[in-house]
Structure 1
Amino acid sequence: MRIVQLANAYSPTSGGLRTVVDALGRGYVAAGHDRVLVIPGKRHTREEGESGLVVTFPGVPVSGGYRVIPRFAPVRELLEELKPDTVEVSDKATLAAAGPWARENGVGAVLISHERLDAVTAARFPHAWRTGNRLLRPALHRRSRNLAEGYDAIVVASAFAGQEFDGTSAPLCEIPLGVDLDLFRPRPAAREAGPDAGSDVGPDVGSDAGVGASVGTGAGAGERAGVHLVYSGRLSVEKNPIAAVAAVKALIAAGLPVHLDVYGTGSQRHHLERAAAGLPIAFHGHLADRAELAARIAEADVVLAPGPAETFGLSVLEAMACGTPVITADTGGAGELLAPHAGLAAASNGPAFAGAVAQVMEWPEAERRAAARLRAEEFPWSRTIASMLALHDRLPGDRGPLATGTGTRSGPG
């Protein structure tokens, strides 16, 4: 079977989307299928590699350092040349036209929904959403519904993600994503002594009084004291990294020594650095070496994931695979990944996240690390790949009728 994957906003720093597309592509090739990847780049290229043919078309730069293929016409010509059995689209913009093209040409088409349009709009433009959501919400829902109806199947990774497509005629398939359990793994041996933070946190840790306090030592990496926190992800408004900074302020105001390491880049970096002045927060930028990133996450006590609109939460799953519990936003789909003692969901603001950190640190370290790893082990990439291949094999055409509900979902423990 020839599967053509189409993805915009695919770059060396594109995080979750690239991780998903690459993991699926490697799995398709390993299973004996012909995989072609079509992505934006600086110029037109065509290269054959271990994971199949990769074709780039000149992309227009957009925010966050990403690129987008501006027109579908050259992609259409490529698809007509390649004659795929199925197309797999990771885009809701220009490449979404591949769905109708596939239908017209008797080719199966699946859309992977990496983000919810309404949730991302609300997170990125909060003021506009508060004042105009009565108009924006139904307009975005209509767009999602119309988009979905151009495909044979829509893949979502969580119940939260699926809500975007309520009322669509296209089959909705909930297929959780996976994690590389060999790359993201607990540290080899437990530290001889860890911070016993529970007794140091007073009852006011979650109060608004702690936010805004300019307290701290300005410690950098290697000068950690107390609770070691990590944020790993894009530094953009919709990911809400400012809540991680505010959580540090609240914890320090409550008398709990902490250090936060931030891994990632984005438009909010300078704003965050100004907000973190004088605090024990170190900004490391994008860490391309994923093995090194995994090792640093494994050394942390808690990972903070305050994004309110996550449709899954790959960084959450990767942290748990490292044996590190996670604090997630109580909105979005990331909270669906949690299990008892593997982390907590909290309101996506500094005081609430600080309170959740204090609560997690009261749990025995061995128990919380084991619970996190055990939960992550329920999500191997092999299961995701098998579910996606089963779906591709059943897309309309000569391969049999499409079945909905491909794959099984493991809900919160």
Structure 2
Amino acid sequence: MEVLIARVANFVHATSGGLRTALRELGKGYLTAGHETVLIVPGAEAGEEETGYGRVITLPGPVVPGLGGYRVLINRRAVSATLRGLRPDRIEVHDRSTLRWLGRWGRENDVPSMMVSHESLDGLLRLFVPGRSLGPWTADRLNARTVAAFDTVLCTTGWAQREFLRLGAAPLRVPLGVDLDRFHPGERVAGPDRVMLLHCGRLSAEKEPRLSLDTLAELRAGGLDAELVVAGDGPLRGDLSAEAERRDLPARFLGHVPDPRALLATADVVLAPGPIETFGLSALEALASGTPAVVRTSSALPEVIGAAGVAAAGDATGFAAAVREVLARPVDDRRAAARRQAELFPWSRAVEGFLTAHANGGATARRRRRFLTPR
């Protein structure tokens, strides 16, 4: 049966990374499966367009200071009016903080709702409020509200599920995917003789991109002729670029790269230093391109990359040792292993899982209505 899925997301703009990719690929999958999908996002002004992944409605939303141009939807009346006009069969929410109220809206309007957890609230509090005992307590309280608000909570990794499981909740787990035709080892081009490290991601505090720079310094101090290519933008770009120059490190900062396929396939190792990544699409795209990754043990990425890379502690010594471990493997073997791991994550499987979650959420909502309806 065809359904209309209204998706609402914050923190999306023209150069944003993983979330934008996920919204696009899921939307394409929903259309292919015969459903209708509408995406509601914030922007500088109101607008509407038809895309290859469904209709996109833009509502005015303010810029969040210090986040590199990201906007949020704060006009609840406008969002509510848009949803009432659409009359969706399902709501899919991609922000568990400022859009939590949409779970209640769904129940009041008899529309099953699903929240997709793209970040670890527990991790964010740990990162920015270190040593505070209130962190886990606050995360649990807010996560409990999220569980109560939505018919379905969906996480993309077991790592992301844990902060809900400890509440006794039962979030669904559906991994994201990668475009295996678009990202492919065949995109590899001839690179320099030196080892090419690639950092591909947003340059902001929660991603800890300085660790990639420190890893380069550690490797070079140990005699490895390596360079670092940084594909991504963010508030820390200027500081990191100046630091690289001051330390005389061969690091190139490319800013936002619209098409990173050749970079991902050409690099020898991709560095993913983010300590609280809940999935890591760019690392998975690297694997699909035949390039192994070095990731943080504290994040969800170890379960995504499997044996196709190495997980390390969050310091330059550990990351440098992990890079050397990867480089010690025969080139053909490590590249083939990376591709095989990526092939476990086609977008078709992710779309199927998300649609199953929507169907289950609809059944949950129907059971709730029967329970609450007076006999």
1:361: Cα distance to partner? 0.7
State the match for 2:85 in structure 1.
81
Could you list the per-position Cα deviations for residues 260-311 of structure 1 after superposition, in whole angstroms to 9, with x for gaps in the alignment?
Answer: 100000011112112211111100000112xxx1111100110000100000
The CA RMSD measured in Å over matched residues stands at 1.8
Q: Is 2:22 the partner of 1:20?
A: yes
**What corresponds to 2:231 in structure 1?**
263
The answer to whether the 8 Å contact 1:323/1:373 transfers is: yes
SS at match of 1:353: helix
Aligned partners of 1:90 and 1:114 also within 8 Å = yes
TM-score (norm 2): 0.92
1:28-177 residue pairs with structure 2 within 5 A?
28-62=30-64, 63-123=67-127, 125=128, 128-130=129-131, 132=132, 134-168=133-167, 171-177=170-176
Q: Counterparts of 1:279 and 1:28 in 2: how far apart (Å)?
A: 46
Kindly report structure 1 stretches of 4+ aligned residues shifted beyond 6 Å.
398-402
Say whether the 8 Å CA contact 2:187–2:265 is kept in structure 1: no
Task: Extract unaligned runs of 5+ from structure 2.
Answer: 369-375
Partner of 1:343: 309
Superposed displacement of residue 188, structure 1: 5.7
Is 1:71–1:94's contact at 8 Å kept on the other side of the alignment?
Answer: no
Separation (CA, whole Å) in 2 of partners of 1:362 and 1:150: 49
In 2: Cα distance, 1:44 partner to 1:106 partner? 27
* Corresponding residue number in structure 1 for 2:298: 331
> Which residue of 1 is the match for residue 373 of structure 2?
none
| Distance apart, 1:32 and its partner CA | 1.1
* Map of 1:391 onto structure 2: 357
Q: For 1:375, give the aligned amino acid.
A: Q
Which range moves more in the overlay, 375-384 or 16-25? 16-25
- Distance change (3 Å), C-alpha of 1:24 and 1:385: same
Pick aligned residue for 1:367 from 326, 333, 336: 333
* Contact 1:72/1:94, CA 8 A, preserved across alignment: no
Does the 8 Å contact 2:93/2:114 carry over to 1?
yes
Q: Which consecutive unaligned segments of at least 5 residues does structure 1 have?
A: 192-221, 403-413
Q: Distance in 2 between matches of 1:401 and 1:183?
A: 42
1:301 has 2:268 as partner: yes
TM-score by length of 1: 0.84
User: Helix, strand or coil: the match of 1:319?
Assistant: helix
Superimposed CA distance per residue, residues 203-228 of structure 1 (whole angstroms, 9 cap, x where no aligned partner): xxxxxxxxxxxxxxxxxxx7x44211
Distance of 1:347 and 1:396 partners within structure 2:
42
**2:295–2:302 CA contact under 8 A, matched in 1:** yes
Q: Distance in 2 between matches of 1:347 and 1:96?
A: 33
Q: CA deviation at 1:394?
A: 2.5
Aligned counterpart for 2:240 among listed residues 272, 284, 306 = 272
> Is the 2:12–2:41 contact (alpha carbons within 8 Å) kept by the matching residues of 1?
yes
Output the CA distance in 1 between the equivalents of 2:220 and 2:188.
Answer: 29
CA distance in 2, matches of 1:170, 1:100: 18
When structure 1 is superposed on structure 2, of 311-320 and 388-397 the one drifting more is 388-397
Q: Work out the percentage of aligned pairs sharing the same amino acid.
A: 41
Deviation at 1:399, TM superposition (A): 9.0
